[in-house]
Amino acid sequence: MRLGIIGLPNSGKTTLFNALTGSNYPTEPFSSGQLEVHTAVVSVPDERLEHISRVYQPKKTTHATVTYTDIGGLDKGIGEGGLSGPMRNELAQVDAFVHVVRAFEDNSVLHTLDTIDPIRDLGVIESEFVLLDLIAVENRLARLEEERKKGKTDARQQNALETALMERLRAQLEAEQPLRGLDFAPDELRFVRGYGFLTLKPVLIIFNSGSGDADPARDLGAQQRTRTLTLQGKLEAEIAQLDDPGDVALFLAEYQIERPSRERVLQLSYDLLGIHSFFTYGDDEVRAWPLRKGGTALEAAGTIHTDLARGFIRAEVVAYEDFVAAGGSMAEVKARGKMRLEGRDYVVRDGDIITVRFAI
């Protein structure tokens, strides 16, 4: 899973990146208008994985990971000038955006639009992305029109279907609405994702506030494939630099923060993208694997290794709760009849512990 951190200059993107990754990149007010990218991979904390690991004492414990990419260089007007190839590539590669919106007052950090207005700022980059997607849709419609004029009868039906879909996208964008607000059939969604439309990607909106600032999320209505979170980016970055868990706990308690931003953002990101985790175990390794909700045992096998999917026979499945109830003993799990043999179409549940039987 790859998440792109975006926002207007001086909104606190790099501060949040440091908070989420434990990095220490400079966060001085900076706005060159040029593409600047920082990337880091972080482990997804999961107490269930830690518990399974304590039981098996494997040589290696492997968490699921998330890649964060801090993408600088976005600003008002980018839609009119168009995106550079490298900028478009960075934006296209992410699975979702973490949109950082400034909600803090600080006279030493100038706002590029002069005043603090989180709801306005949220719409600035969104409007630019709408314009860029609209240009892409109109270009595709123009190419479809050229193909129709050439009279290729074997592709006429597909051309008509795609044209109708693109017209629907254009109407949404001309209404200045993001594509994620549309309802798509599964096959349509798979098709449009191939174009890398920016407003189709899910968005986690993070309002970067200061102590005592109002919560702008209250003024934001519900939006499809969007989640919101308000946090103090500067404070969270300071917490991320602490090495002693005791110091972290004291800091969180003092500022009445339930969990560090890293955990909250990861949980919301998993929820936004419709992802959960399953586990594999053994003496060599205990590991957490991300899988889309609704994913099958066959897809889980393919996530582990393509050979397992190719030679899939059955999956041995144990619910994490049943594993805990049996005292962490697979022998006791079997004695209680809680280990199941499932076929390739079994829908994997969050926390399932899976062993794939296969033959090649």
Give phi and psi for 160, each to the nearest 5: -65, -40
pLDDT at 263: 87
| Of residues 52, 57, 46, 63, the one with CA closest to residue 354 | 52
pLDDT at 213: 62
pLDDT at 262: 83
pLDDT at 6: 94
Q: State how far the Cα of 322 lies from the Cα of 329, in Å rounded to an integer.
A: 10
Contact yes or no for 38/23 (Cβ under 8 A): yes
pLDDT at 245: 84
pLDDT at 32: 53
pLDDT at 153: 59
Say which residues have a Cβ less than 8 Å from residue 218's Cβ, sequence separation at least 6: none
Q: Which CATH class is domain 131-199?
A: mainly alpha
| Of residues 350, 49, 2, 27, the one with CA closest to residue 201 | 2
Q: State how far the Cα of 225 lies from the Cα of 228, in Å rounded to an integer.
A: 11
Contact yes or no for 103/213 (Cβ under 8 A): yes
CA angle 63, 268, 254 (to 5 degrees): 90
- In the CATH scheme, what architecture does the domain 294-358 have? Roll (3.10)
Cα distances (angstroms) measured from residue 46 to each of 49, 218, 277, 325: 5, 30, 9, 18
Q: For residue 194, count other CB atoms closer than 10 A to its CB.
A: 7
* Beta pairing partners, 183: none
Q: State how far the Cα of 293 lies from the Cα of 106, in Å rounded to an integer.
A: 42
Cα distances (angstroms) measured from residue 221 to each of 95, 120, 128, 218, 323: 23, 14, 20, 8, 41
CATH number for the region 2-45+63-115+200-272 comes to: 3.40.50.300
Cα distances (angstroms) measured from residue 176 to each of 42, 181, 335: 35, 11, 60
CA angle 29, 34, 40 (to 5 degrees): 75
State the pTM of this model. Answer: 0.86
pLDDT in tens, the chain (360 residues): 899 999 998 898 998 999 898 888 877 655 555 778 899 999 999 999 999 999 999 999 999 999 999 998 888 888 777 778 888 889 999 999 999 999 888 887 888 888 889 999 999 999 999 999 999 999 999 999 988 888 765 678 888 899 999 999 999 999 999 999 999 998 899 899 899 999 999 999 999 987 766 667 666 666 678 888 888 888 888 888 888 888 888 888 888 888 888 888 988 899 889 999 999 999 999 999 999 999 999 999 999 999 999 999 999 999 999 999 999 999 999 999 999 999 999 999 999 999 999 998
Q: Where are the alpha helices (DSSP H) in the chain?
A: 13-21, 47-56, 78-81, 85-93, 118-150, 156-174, 186-193, 233-240, 245-254, 261-273, 297-304, 306-310, 320-325, 330-335
| Of residues 189, 243, 223, the one with CA closest to residue 22 | 243
* Beta pairing partners, 96: 3
Cα distances (angstroms) measured from residue 103 to each of 11, 73, 115, 118, 263: 8, 20, 10, 6, 21
**Residue 103, Ramachandran bin (φ over 0: left; ψ between -120 and 50: alpha; else beta):** alpha
pLDDT at 214: 63
Handedness of CA 247, 253, 255, 261 (dihedral sign): positive
Kindly tell me the burial class for residue 67, based on how many C-beta atoms sit within 10 Å of its own C-beta (0-12, 13-18, 19 or more): middle
Every domain of the chain and the residues it spans: 2-45+63-115+200-272, 131-199, 294-358
